[in-house]
Chain A
């Protein structure tokens, strides 16, 4: 079945089974492999993308469900070779170690309310597992990013 997708500001038409996981469509049909799979059952958040600004697990979403919606993945963050401020903050604070959780973690962070307190950051990232960092540096990165947003 032909589906029209909006991903990172670009329009794509893909020929996929409507129930194909959005995660697989992104990775296989659009070669956007920045979105990762850690569990395939909605537990780890490695596959987090934004759909109309809301963070969702792409492993649980059938592709047909996002027709007409705006999908944003990690590949859509940097523009013209310039890193997004959130990416900079992850680098500066050592928030990416092995990096496998990083794309999903950043997408989840982007869906946080602008004035999030530390408690809100923790709650907002509770669906994203990181096994490397102990989360501390991720809080630092997200807090630095949000502090900049406020200004």
Chain B
């Protein structure tokens, strides 16, 4: 274990409650670590295929309109160019990106519904010629009226309702009704590796098939999209994930579109075609986090008890449905925050606008809805004159409480524990910081700081305004409701002469999938970690383990692998170490040729969900989180800066503590970025600041010391107690920061990003 550096912040690992474990809970060497630090790892743009062409996309430059004509400059030398338009998609193939619905075309037919919508595809062997050619193709439009603002939009792409208890009665009984409206902006995933694929005609023995290599989270989503587009059976479509430079949801559904484009060009050209977006194109064309507007009305008793919660939630879906219905579902289910109420009504809608479709982004709607919930909690505290911490404690979920969907929380509820730990860690950090500044912490400063209702920063003589804010949150692991049953994910293990090979369709996108899965299997089989190999993420070899999203890869897929390991263990009979395992394995292989155990998802018996009424156990388990943000605001520039951040997250069990902390630190910083810096500026339906020069993500200098503590409240159906970790950390930072800004200034912001312009407006 490496020695911790002297940096402020830092992570504290929970003491393992499972003393016997030999691999799980230990920081084993990362599976693909060496390739990544030597530069040997091959990302999609590092690959060159023989006789390969480069592909590019002709995109719309109006938000809504009828395409009158697409014209190539007759003066230009078009030798060597390949063109594709919607007419190249022929039956039985369909011009529809297979997602939840099939409303989005791969290529526009006669209308465009948003800026940057793909119209034509062009390929050439020379990239400079390709760029020159693309600039010589013009599209003429008959413009149509565009609806760009989702707050005034009327077309609804999806609506859901959650109802529980008697809301009218709750409001009739209320001493006070507190109302507030909250807004969040779009956010770009900003993986440092842009979207990219290479499509190649043929798949295995099928000359008429298609193979796509690329950067992606969900190879089997891409398989499905290509099957629909090209009208091919599954055997003729092969998708291989290459080393992927970050995803965060941004490579969940979009690679299906890009893979389809490259496939169309490759089939027409009869050659491999590479399409790798430049940053600008990636920013204007691909999905973002859904902007939201959320209104809360809360029926309160004077003593701080929540009686009823009434929420109206709207998301900006953009021009097509993509994954918006499920984003909405997760947003709505988490919209109360981790608080109980006997009466709840949540109305959620996704609005259609003429803007590029929004889609999956880490947290999947829950960061938006819990931002509103937690900023609203501070508003309630202020209106009732109750301390924010006390108000929260009074209403926080305990074991046995019931959620908005009527789910009774039976186990692994750590809402109070993460709050206690966060307060303790924050107190330590505050003392240390005060000591470092050579002052003694003012008595009660820590507790007082989080009280939030008072202005505790001093603005005198240009000194920064300081404040501290709190946010509590939870995040359901895995697909919502019956989603996991429908997915019916598979994963398994093959015996090899040196150990085992994992057959799993989950992808490694930086979060440590390969390492963590190998640890689970090594532990379950009782053999050393280095005897576990993982098959390449190639759909010709690995089964569909469901998408690598929704904080499900450890808890859900890890559990399937654990079950496969247990079965394999039974087949092997007695062995007591790696050596005797190998002996038995070789014997069994000799006898049977191949030995593979593939298991499928099994719904834990106690999970019941009704998709029509939106009632029941929305998720098998929840991760729990508490954030405390310390911020300061420059009274002249109005720039807010986070000076210290505390994140305590309960994830059931840290299979690999360093990787788990990495998820928490990274997710937290992405949340801080969303809260303070990341502002997608739209003009005429198009991202206006589509470059890294003016779409700002946190650099080292914007990043505060982040104190992380992992809490391990085991979940009985997770592998070794593990729940999800990837998304929970991003649910809290925005609210904690906005609450801190209010503590510092006494003014409400109720929106992110908290840019200097917004803060100034609130203050003056």
Q: Chain A 17-36, CB within 8 Å of chain B: the 1/0 string? A: 00000000001000011111
| Interface residue tally for chain B (C-beta within 8 Å) | 66
Q: Is A98 an interface residue (CB 8 A)?
A: yes
Residues A127-142 near B (CB distance < 8 A) = 127-137, 139-140
Bound-state Cα–Cα, A83 to B29, Å = 14
Partner of A135, one of B27, B193, B278, B669: B669
Which of B32-40, B176-184, B610-618, B752-760 is found at the contact surface with chain A? B32-40
Chain B residues near A106 (CB, 8 Å)? 37
Residues B1-60 near A (CB distance < 8 A) = 2-11, 27, 29-30, 32-43, 45-46
Chain B residues near A77 (CB, 8 Å)? 38
Bound-state Cα–Cα, A54 to B749, Å = 44
Q: Is B450 an interface residue (CB 8 A)?
A: no
A125 to chain B, nearest CB (A): 5
Q: Is the CB of B34 within 8 A of A83?
A: yes
B746 to chain A, nearest CB (A): 30
Chain B residues near A87 (CB, 8 Å)? 37-38
Residue in A100, A126, A135 whose Cβ sees the most chain B Cβ within 10 Å: A100
Q: Is the CB of A94 within 8 A of B661?
A: yes
Q: Is the CB of B662 within 8 A of A94?
A: yes
Q: Is the CB of B11 within 8 A of A136?
A: yes
Bound-state Cα–Cα, A126 to B701, Å = 6
Q: Is the CB of B511 within 8 A of A97?
A: yes
Q: Is A110 an interface residue (CB 8 A)?
A: no
Residues A55-98 near B (CB distance < 8 A) = 73-75, 77-78, 83, 87, 89-94, 96-98
Interface of A: prevailing SS:
loop
Q: Is A5 an interface residue (CB 8 A)?
A: no
Given contacts A83-B34, A133-B666, contact A139 B510 (CB under 8 A): no
Bound-state Cα–Cα, A89 to B243, Å = 21
Bound-state Cα–Cα, A131 to B727, Å = 14
Q: Is the CB of A136 within 8 A of B697?
A: no
Bound-state Cα–Cα, A144 to B736, Å = 32
**Chain B residue nearest in CB terms to A146:** B5
Q: Is B152 an interface residue (CB 8 A)?
A: no
Q: Is the CB of B7 within 8 A of A38?
A: no
Q: Is A11 an interface residue (CB 8 A)?
A: no
Q: Is B245 an interface residue (CB 8 A)?
A: yes
A111 to chain B, nearest CB (A): 14
Chain B residues near A123 (CB, 8 Å)? 700-701
Chain B residues near A34 (CB, 8 Å)? 38-40
Q: Is the CB of A44 within 8 A of B7?
A: no
B610 to chain A, nearest CB (A): 38
Partner of B46, one of A33, A101, A135, A136: A33
**Chain A residue nearest in CB terms to B670:** A131
Bound-state Cα–Cα, A10 to B141, Å = 55
Q: Is B691 an interface residue (CB 8 A)?
A: yes
Given contacts A34-B39, A91-B30, A144-B5, contact A98 B510 (CB under 8 A): yes
A14 to chain B, nearest CB (A): 17
Q: Is B693 an interface residue (CB 8 A)?
A: yes
Given contacts A83-B37, A134-B665, contact A125 B700 (CB under 8 A): yes
Q: Is B543 an interface residue (CB 8 A)?
A: no
Bound-state Cα–Cα, A48 to B192, Å = 14
B621 to chain A, nearest CB (A): 24
Bound-state Cα–Cα, A34 to B42, Å = 8
Partner of A136, one of B9, B509, B512, B691: B9
Q: Is B78 an interface residue (CB 8 A)?
A: no
Bound-state Cα–Cα, A43 to B40, Å = 24
Q: Is the CB of A99 within 8 A of B36?
A: yes
**Chain B residue nearest in CB terms to A130:** B192
Given contacts A87-B38, A99-B243, A123-B701, contact A93 B666 (CB under 8 A): no
A49 to chain B, nearest CB (A): 11
Residues B140-185 near A (CB distance < 8 A) = none
Chain A residues near B42 (CB, 8 Å)? 33
Residues B43-82 near A (CB distance < 8 A) = 43, 45-46
Q: Is A50 an interface residue (CB 8 A)?
A: no
Given contacts A96-B37, A131-B666, A135-B703, contact A143 B191 (CB under 8 A): no
Residue in B10, B509, B668, B700 whose Cβ sees the most chain A Cβ within 10 Å: B700
Q: Is the CB of B38 within 8 A of A74?
A: yes
Chain A residues near B247 (CB, 8 Å)? 98
In the complex, given contacts A41-B693, A131-B191, A136-B661, what are 7 additional A-B residue pairs having Cβ atoms less than 8 angstroms apart?
A33-B46, A39-B279, A44-B692, A78-B38, A90-B37, A129-B692, A143-B7
Which residues of A approach B to under 8 Å, CB–CB? 27, 32-41, 43-44, 46, 73-75, 77-78, 83, 87, 89-94, 96-103, 106, 118, 121-123, 125-137, 139-140, 143-144, 147
Query: What are 28 contact pairs spanning A and B, CB under 8 A?
Result: A33-B43, A33-B45, A35-B39, A38-B192, A39-B691, A41-B693, A43-B691, A87-B38, A92-B2, A94-B662, A97-B246, A97-B511, A98-B191, A98-B509, A98-B510, A99-B37, A100-B192, A103-B39, A125-B700, A127-B699, A129-B697, A130-B192, A131-B189, A131-B248, A134-B667, A135-B703, A140-B2, A147-B5
